[in-house]
Amino acid sequence: MLERKALHGGRRCGLVFAAARHRQAPKRQKRQSPPHPSFDSHAIPGQSQLSSIIKDILPRIAASWYPLQNFRGRHVKNATAALAALLFFLGACSQDNDDVGSSPFDSRYAAMPSTATIITGATVLTGTGERIDNADVLIRDGKIAGIGTGLRASGAEVVDAAGKWVTPGIIDVHSHLGVYPSPGTESHSDGNEATAPVTAEVWVEHSVWPQDPGFVTALAGGVTSLQILPGSANLIGGRGVTLKNVPGRNVMDMKFPGAPHSLKMACGENPKRVYGSRNQSPATRMANVAGYRAAWIAAADYRDKLAAAAEGKGEAPLRDLKLETLVGVLDGEILVHNHCYRADEMSVMLDIAEEFGYKITAFHHAVEAYKIADLLAEADTCAAMWADWWGFKMEAYDGIRENAAIVDQAAACAIIHSDDELGIQVLNQETAKVMGAAAKAGVEIAPEQAIRWITANAARSLGIDDVTGTLEAGKMADLVVWNGNPFSVYTRAERVYIDGALAYEQGNDTVNPMTDFTLGTAAAGGGAQ
């Protein structure tokens, strides 16, 4: 537990203790980064854990004092420093609420009630690269309980899926649903805090409107989870959030439990156009880079001051929400998702990440990813791409339909994303476009591999792949039953399960959710039914 802290909640004891730990961390090797945070990564030591912390630290203090017969000044210094750090840590924690492990914005997601279900006779794409024909999928207690042929489950609801396909639920890593909702009025435009080039302090979840009808139409397209991101006006636009695609009264009811936050960054034309048009910096790509570096320098300095305070060397700085988020990135707790089109700029961004010791989890849009697929594989950085959307501005000029296939063939992490309220409904068909283009170029992408672009790889980039994104025993039962091959234009999602609960069934209005906005406009006279 001491290796993790609640940067997302900004608990002072977590920040201070993390800073003290960081001082002892070995230097990061070239383009290496910490693995995705585990699902207790937001926890910090609570009252129940303090005794074990004390038991761990106090013997070290005693050991420093023990050799009194060979008294050396360093023992006093070491013991005093250790004791000061411990007292500072405990004092910082005492300023928090009793429940120091909580955050005011923790997920309040509760899975819908589910029943034991067995889906029989389907073609199953597990998301692990495996295809199983005439297979059964057993769901119990909201989890995948088994996959195979000839499974038996007494008392379970039986869904005959002969001739149908089953896949993991689709995950869209780039969506603005809820922050640019329907109806698309200026008053509903809450995705870009375009008031400064760096706005790391804002959290997009505080703009999400759960009543956006786009969530429901995405569900009908098989989307079970999605990442909502700020827009791309700023160099650093703020924190993103991963949601379960379920109805909620507020975003906390939808927030994917335990998923790490992300940080939206943007390079290229958007930031320099927004601020250059105001005669402000950045107005050029070189100013973009200077802006990123200045932000990371400030974050590193903030972290150093926290570390010094933890050692009793001065006061801790005042809490800074912007720098707190950036320190979360430097410490591997917050995942960077970087809007970037051109190959040369993606390469520069990898260099900046190496300079400051953080990882870029995924480049988004990445129209020229095919030019640096080997670098992406080396950096363990995903490329989230469109199937065939480019040419709408100069930095998006040099796109090809085989982009994702080339990235995939280089053993890099390929993802198909939407960035669109309509495209999110047909991500399976967007994937099929790439499969077709690759086949024309002589590269056959099997369905069991292509499905990973919108499931397993997407989950990996969001840091949730240990609980969803593939159909494996023990994982969340987030899955789709398709009425045919999901990569056919004629196929539709017939059933969508989230945590084992039937969240959508084609044509079944007693199951399918409806937003208040949709309900209010459905009546012939414009009033609610």
Exposed, middle or buried by CB within 10 Å (0-12, 13-18, 19+), for 353?
buried
- Domain architecture of the chain: domains with CATH: 12-94 (no CATH), 168-505 (3.20.20.140)
**pLDDT for 62-105, tens place per residue?**
443 333 333 334 344 444 444 444 444 444 444 444 333 347 89
Contact 463, 259 (CB under 8 A): yes
Q: Is pLDDT at 22 greater than 70 in this prediction?
A: no
- pLDDT category at 521 given cuts 50, 70, 90 is low
Contact 517, 182 (CB under 8 A): yes
Concatenated DSSP letters for 27-80? PPPTT--PPPPPTTTT----HHHHHHHHHHHHHHHHHHHS-GGG--HHHHHHHH
State the Cα–Cα distance between residues 339 and 44, nearest whole angstrom.
31
Q: Pairing between strand 236-244 and 223-228?
A: antiparallel
Q: Is pLDDT at 472 greater than 60 in this prediction?
A: yes
State the Cα–Cα distance between residues 101 and 4, nearest whole angstrom.
11
State the Cα–Cα distance between residues 90 and 111, nearest whole angstrom.
36
Predicted TM-score (pTM) of the model is 0.82
Provide the mean pLDDT of the chain.
85
**pLDDT for 220-232, tens place per residue?**
999 999 999 999 9
Q: What is the pLDDT of residue 381?
A: 99
**pLDDT for 114-168, tens place per residue?**
999 999 999 999 999 999 999 999 999 999 999 999 999 999 999 999 999 999 9
Q: Is pLDDT at 2 greater than 90 in this prediction?
A: no
Comparing C-alpha atoms, which of 465, 470, 467, 464 is closest to residue 449?
Answer: 470
Least confident of 71-80, 423-432, 443-452: 71-80
- pLDDT category at 56 given cuts 50, 70, 90 is low
In this prediction, what percent of the chain has a pLDDT beyond 90? 76
Q: CA torsion sign, 426 to 176 to 181 to 498?
A: positive
Q: Is pLDDT at 424 greater than 50 in this prediction?
A: yes
Q: Which residue has the higher pLDDT, 59 or 275?
A: 275
- Mean pLDDT in residue range 270-286: 98
Q: What is the pLDDT of residue 516?
A: 80
